[in-house]
Amino acid sequence: MNAIEENVPSSPGRWSASSPAVAFLIALSCNAILLFAIFDHFWWAPDDGYYAHIARRLLNGEVLFRDIEDFHLGLVHLVNALSMLLFGETLLSMRYPLVVVALAQSMIVHALIAGRSLPLAIVASLAVSAVGLPQFQNPSANWYVLFIAFVAALLLQTRNHRKTSVLFTLGLLVGIAFLFRHLTAAFLGMAVLVTLLARADPHASEDGATGGQWLARSTILALAGILLAYGLPRLDPFTGPAFLAGPMAVLICVFRGPLTGNRATARILIVTSAGLATAFLPLLVYLAMNAALDDCFRVLLGMSRALLAMPFLDNPRYYHVVLYGLIQFLRSPSLPVFLNAGYWLSLLLLPGIIAFALVRRGWRSTAAMLATPIATVALFVGVAALHYQIPIYLSFVAPLLVAGTAMLASGRSVIAHSITGSWLVLLAFTGFHWQSSLPIPSRALSVLFSASEWPTDEVRLDGRARIVIDRKEAETHTRLLDLIGRNSAPGDAILSMPAIPEFYFLADRRNPLPFANVGLGTFRRLAEVTQRLESDPPALVINRRVDKYHNSDTALLLEWIRARYRLLQSVGEFDVYVAGGAPVGRAPPERDKADGL
């Protein structure tokens, strides 16, 4: 790692010349064991089913945005489709690339810290793995863009990060991140630009003094405007200081310090933009060849508007987690409650801790503040967690926050290494032992802060899933799949609503609509949706009675369905409707007495 800047010498001790290789193998082995130990456990069926359903449609030759409507730009679906080609059409197949990128990012953390402290590097890499993928193991685009952020931070740490080839690669990485998840990619792009535009040497002769830096200063002001436009609507007494104040303070420090001159700034912007544009070229060619360019803009705009209109995004707040953790510990103090409360509280405080450390350096020297790019990247990417303020969305950025904190601590004393290492051990143990792979229905705050451990009553859902899940969920889905099999034939269309597309994939049935999420797809399009259903009527309809994606449009759609279909059976929280006639191979329908299985 000679190309990586190391501002602090390796910590003294008994490590021999072969120690870095031994430490690397230890970290690699331990992280691989941790990630593979439970990689086939847990699902969030709507998400797993969503990605699997779209991947299967792509493999069947349908075209994204023309035949399939989604608010992602599509790279995550390509990865999932390729995974199914390589490993078979199962939900489990989509887990393999997730484990690979999670393992790779843990080793990036090890590489960044190993030159400063080998023990801390090993522990930090394990903590990054424990607080990440095991918390929410499904093929979400968030995990892939997180890995890209780690790669970008690694490139920014190199001495030659302003070389043309590196600038182009950084732009390419941000572009690829956009193709996975554009919101997180925007904040990654901010972190990259902030690091590049700050002049490392204030005495270096670049084209002019303050008057020659207007382009860089204008860019920093534009970034601040974007950050405020996103953050202010989500502002509350906790998220302001914890998530938004830090990035704004960093922007202020950079703005008031020495910046790259106009010529250097123009070069940075042009080369990184060229890399970003290159990332989009394959998508543009694909859309043009399939006459789907207009569809792409229409679908992205419509789906984004529908998602932002969903009221559930505004309800949860991270300060609820903070308050509940404190109350729970005061009401029933115990070691597990203390560790679990400490786990979530420390993760929520990390953006503020990172911001304080960076600004403290930056007020004296911008170069010192930006000497640990992974901390800057973590601070800005962490803002993406405000999109939906639930613990899972915090987990999507937690590995970066942990890595940034460990990197900042690695440049300090042996005592700081010991304190940080102890905290990382507790964080990794708590995250893996108590928090990982909890079924979604069990993730109430009362459970997150309790002494609950891994679920023990689990079974493997075979067929096209091959995932180990909670027994009650498995029994419910098995009964529903049996009903689908009895009342429809392969090739038939079924409708699964409002956001439970796993049944299309697991039952191998066709979706008559271009979108997998009926709650988003019917937004202000009810007449179009019912027209499609009349021209391609589903043999069976499954409705989840209580779902955050239910809205006024889905309520009207459900009325339309009930006027044409009759209730066959209710299984747990799902109602199954069939059209006309007596159900195949069934007695007259009656509602299950139990609300669940």
* pLDDT tens digits for range 475-517: 999 999 999 999 999 999 999 999 999 999 999 999 999 999 9
Distance CA 327, CA 568 (A): 45
Q: What is the pLDDT of residue 237?
A: 85
Mean pLDDT over each residue of the chain, to the nearest integer? 89
Q: How far is CA 363 from CA 27, 49, 254, 349, 375, in A?
A: 36, 49, 9, 21, 16
Instruction: State yes or no: pLDDT of 7 exceeds 50.
Output: no
Distance CA 581, CA 447 (A): 45
Q: How many CA atoms lie within 13 A of 555 on its CB side?
A: 5
Can you tell me the mean pLDDT for 516-540? 95
Q: What is the pLDDT of residue 330?
A: 81
Q: How far is CA 160 from CA 7, 169, 203, 262, 581, in A?
A: 15, 12, 18, 20, 72
Q: What are phi and psi of 198, to 5 degrees?
A: -75, 125
Q: What is the pLDDT of residue 205?
A: 53
> What is the phi-psi region of residue 491: left when phi exceeds 0, alpha when psi lies from -120 to 50, beta otherwise?
left
Distance CA 306, CA 300 (A): 10
Can you tell me the mean pLDDT for 132-139? 94
Q: What are phi and psi of 468, to 5 degrees?
A: -85, 120
DSSP string, 544-574: ESS-TT--HHHHHHHHHHHTTEEEEEEETTE
pTM for the model stands at 0.92
373 or 204, higher pLDDT: 373
Kindly indicate the confidence band of residue 4, based on its pLDDT and cuts at 50, 70 and 90: low
Distance CA 223, CA 539 (A): 51
Can you tell me the mean pLDDT for 321-327? 84
Q: How far is CA 222 from CA 152, 360, 366, in A?
A: 21, 24, 19
Helices 182-197 and 141-157 meet at what angle, rounded to 10? Answer: 10
Tell me the per-residue pLDDT of 331-357, one tens digit each, with 9 for 90 and over: 777 888 888 888 999 999 999 999 999
Give the pair of three-digit tokens for residue 211. 């008057």
Amino acid symbol at 506: L
Distance CA 329, CA 341 (A): 7
Which element (helix H / strand E) includes 470? Answer: strand 467-470
* C-beta separation of 39 from 52 below 8 A: no
Kindly indicate the confidence band of residue 259, based on its pLDDT and cuts at 50, 70 and 90: very high
Can you tell me the mean pLDDT for 380-403? 96
Kindly indicate the confidence band of residue 104, based on its pLDDT and cuts at 50, 70 and 90: very high
Tell me the per-residue pLDDT of 67-77, one tens digit each, with 9 for 90 and over: 999 999 999 99
Q: What is the pLDDT of residue 452?
A: 60
Q: What is the pLDDT of residue 161?
A: 86
* C-beta separation of 74 from 68 below 8 A: no
Distance CA 59, CA 77 (A): 10
Q: What is the pLDDT of residue 187?
A: 98
Can you tell me the mean pLDDT for 387-401? 95
Can you tell me the mean pLDDT for 220-244? 92
Tell me the per-residue pLDDT of 567-576, one tens digit each, with 9 for 90 and over: 999 999 999 9
Q: Comparing 23-32, 365-374, 560-569, 570-579, which segment has the lowest mean pLDDT?
A: 365-374
Instruction: State yes or no: pLDDT of 11 exceeds 50.
Output: no
Which element (helix H / strand E) includes 106? Answer: helix 96-114
Distance CA 139, CA 5 (A): 34
Tell me the per-residue pLDDT of 268-315, one tens digit each, with 9 for 90 and over: 999 999 999 999 999 999 999 999 999 999 999 999 999 988 888 888
Which element (helix H / strand E) includes 237? Answer: none
* C-beta separation of 216 from 256 below 8 A: no
Amino acid symbol at 525: R
Distance CA 139, CA 32 (A): 18
Can you tell me the mean pLDDT for 429-444? 80
Q: What are phi and psi of 494, to 5 degrees?
A: -130, 160
Identify which of 141, 21, 121 has the alpha carbon closest to the alpha carbon of residue 393: 141
Instruction: State yes or no: pLDDT of 472 exceeds 60.
Output: yes
* C-beta separation of 58 from 432 below 8 A: no
Can you tell me the mean pLDDT for 135-146? 96
Q: What is the pLDDT of residue 446?
A: 66
Can you tell me the mean pLDDT for 519-547? 96
* C-beta separation of 517 from 498 below 8 A: yes
What DSSP character marks residue 198? B
Q: How many CA atoms lie within 13 A of 12 on its CB side?
A: 1
Q: What is the pLDDT of residue 586?
A: 40
* % of the chain beyond a pLDDT of 90: 74
Give the pair of three-digit tokens for residue 341. 């409360």
448 or 20, higher pLDDT: 20
Q: What is the pLDDT of residue 202?
A: 54
Kindly indicate the confidence band of residue 2, based on its pLDDT and cuts at 50, 70 and 90: very low
Give the pair of three-digit tokens for residue 90. 């199962």
